[in-house]
Structure 1
Amino acid sequence: MSWQAAVEKTVIGLGYDLVDCERSAGGLLRVYIDKLADQALAGEVISVDDCEKVTRQLQYVLEVENADYQRLEVSSPGLDRPLNKAADYARFTGEQIEITLKLAFQGRKRYSGELQALDAAEGEAAGWRLVFNDGKQDQALDFSLDEVRSAKLVPAIDFKGRKSKPAAGESQDKTNKADGKKAASKKKKQSNAKARQQQDDEESPAAAGKDDKVDGGLDQ
């Protein structure tokens, strides 16, 4: 059994989806796992415990199979999860993806848009469609998996919540600054009044005698 087959059989046997696996020239073996589709739909995500569980089992299996590797890493695929097999495309139909074609179409190889499934003709493999906007209008690109060099999910990040909070904070900050200016102005007036009072006290004969006592270091 090859190391790829051993990895796939082990990961699937433990109840996980094998997203990808690769081995670098330095002997590093990377394995990416994910929850099954129904589990992910229920909100489950890959945890550290999941990775440790798969790592322990793979270490045992790869030793039995006498696989040549130096170090093993097991992790989740991340937000930009790659799509490698038909099951991946079926699972993420309706999501935003990015594909790179093997051959350029209309002068470009990379496209980004919504993934849609096409009805398969009798005796043919299912086809796929990418709906994208060229800056003017929506267009559709029909393709088969054989035409794709690589594909991955496009992470959906919403910045609206972040923008709304700073706006409110900015308004509050302006109010605080205005209040701060008023307080500083009031404090400045009080300081000037104290300074004038202190100057008057220093110029009086009683204050002069008091200053001499302090300078002399006497404590009565």
Structure 2
Amino acid sequence: MGPVRDPLFFISARVMAEEPLQTVDAEALDEPRLIEDAGAAQRIGRIAAPALRDLGLRLVRVKISAASGATVQVMAERSDGTMTIDDCERASEALSPVFDAEDIMTQAYRLELSSPGIDRPLVRRSDFERAVGHEAKIEMATPVDGRKRFRGRIEAVAPDSAGATVRLVVVADDKSETAFDLPVAAMGDARLVLTDDLIRAALRREKAALKEAKRRPGAAPPAKAKADPKRKAAARGAAKPHGPDEGDTHGR
């Protein structure tokens, strides 16, 4: 008997749209991650990425934690950065048999599918380009000027032979500013910091995306009020753990 999973679907505030956007940018889907996971998470990510690609999704990151015994979190998105409840459900149904066949874990585990969220990880060059002007936390795998941890404003992103270099402006306690050029290939982790400006920018993008969806021929208008409350509950992680004889492989 393979591992027992209880997939959970999470809605990251103001990021996951109720109505799917139909545009699929193949080039954006194939944009490589410049910051990859390590160890078992890297192996699982390489298994998951092709299955997600077939659904019009791209992998953001994989995280393995000890929550609820063991949890495998797969973070994904569309090429435009959105992620719907339906996307999470489809991704779980597609990944479950693939993970079974590859025997990704030696113990029972929960499978979680989620969007990147507003304070998202930055893993691709386009992630950093969209984050220009916003604050980020960056941890380097290789020290720069004798330090590994940085927090500051992303000022610019320049292409280089290894992918990209990010100019990060760090403000000291005395309000003085220092700019650091950080190669993305040497980063171990990078993530946006949740600020009021970032939330306002996310709201503007969501509003523009919904407006664009309405303009598309044959596009159905967003219908948040008509969403199935049971699906919303499941999306927020309301499903309870179950044993080998409870529910099907997708937690229903």
TM over 0.5: yes
Confirm or deny: 8 A CA contact 2:158 2:165 kept in the other structure.
yes
The match for 1:113 is 153
Mapped to 2, the partners of 1:108 and 1:58 lie a distance apart of: 35
TM-score by structure 1 length? Answer: 0.57
Partner of 1:192: none
SS of structure 2 residue aligned to 1:56: helix
Deviation at 1:61, TM superposition (A): 1.7
Map Cα deviations across residues 145-198 of structure 1 (whole Å, 9 max, x no partner).
24323210122326xx9xxxxxxxxxxxxxxxxxxxxxxxxxxxxxxxxxxxxx
Following superposition, the deviation at residue 51 of structure 1 comes to 1.1
Amino acid paired to 2:117: G
Written as runs of structure 1 = structure 2, the 5 A alignment for 1:107-186 is 109-120=149-160, 125-134=163-172, 135-157=174-196
Matched, 1:34 2:77: yes
Relative to structure 1, the CA distance from residue 34 to residue 67 in structure 2 (aligned partners, 3 Å threshold; closer, same or farther) is same
Among candidates 51, 54, 72, match of residue 13 of structure 1: 54
Alignment-derived partner of residue 63 in structure 1:
100
Q: Which amino acid aligns with 2:104?
A: A
CA distance in 2, matches of 1:31, 1:24: 11
**Counterparts of 2:146 and 2:110, CA distance in 1:** 43
Determine the structure 2 residue equivalent to 1:101. Answer: 140
Higher relative contact order (CA 8 A, sep 6+): 2
1:15 CA drift (Å): 1.0
Report deviation, 1:111: 1.9
Aligned residue identity for 1:16: L
- TM-score, normalised to structure 2, is 0.51
Q: Name the counterpart of 2:19.
A: none
The percentage of counterpart residues that share the same residue type is 27
User: Which runs of 5 or more structure 1 residues have no equivalent in the other structure?
Assistant: 162-220
How far apart, in 2, do the equivalents of 1:124 and 1:150 lie?
A: 16
Cα deviation for residue 115 of structure 1 reads: 4.1
Amino acid corresponding to residue 109 of structure 1 in structure 2:
R
**Structure 2 CA distance for partners of 1:47 and 1:93, relative to 1, 3 Å:** same
Q: Contact conserved, 1:96 with 1:115, CA < 8 A, in 2? A: no
Partners of 1:96 and 1:70 lie apart in 2 by 34
SS at match of 2:116: coil
- Count of paired positions: 150
CA offsets 1:118-154 (integer angstroms, 9 cap, x no match)? 253xx56432211233343333111112432321012
- The 1:20/1:108 distance shift into structure 2, 3 A limit, reads closer
Cα distance in 1, alignment partners of residues 157 and 147 from structure 2: 24
Return the alpha-carbon distance in structure 2 between the equivalents of residues 149 and 58 of structure 1.
26
Change (3 A) 1:136 1:94: closer
The one of 116, 122, 125 aligned to 1:83: 122
* Structure in which a larger fraction of residues adopt helix: 1
Which amino acid is the alignment partner of residue 48 of structure 1?
A: I
Backbone CA RMSD of aligned residues: 2.8
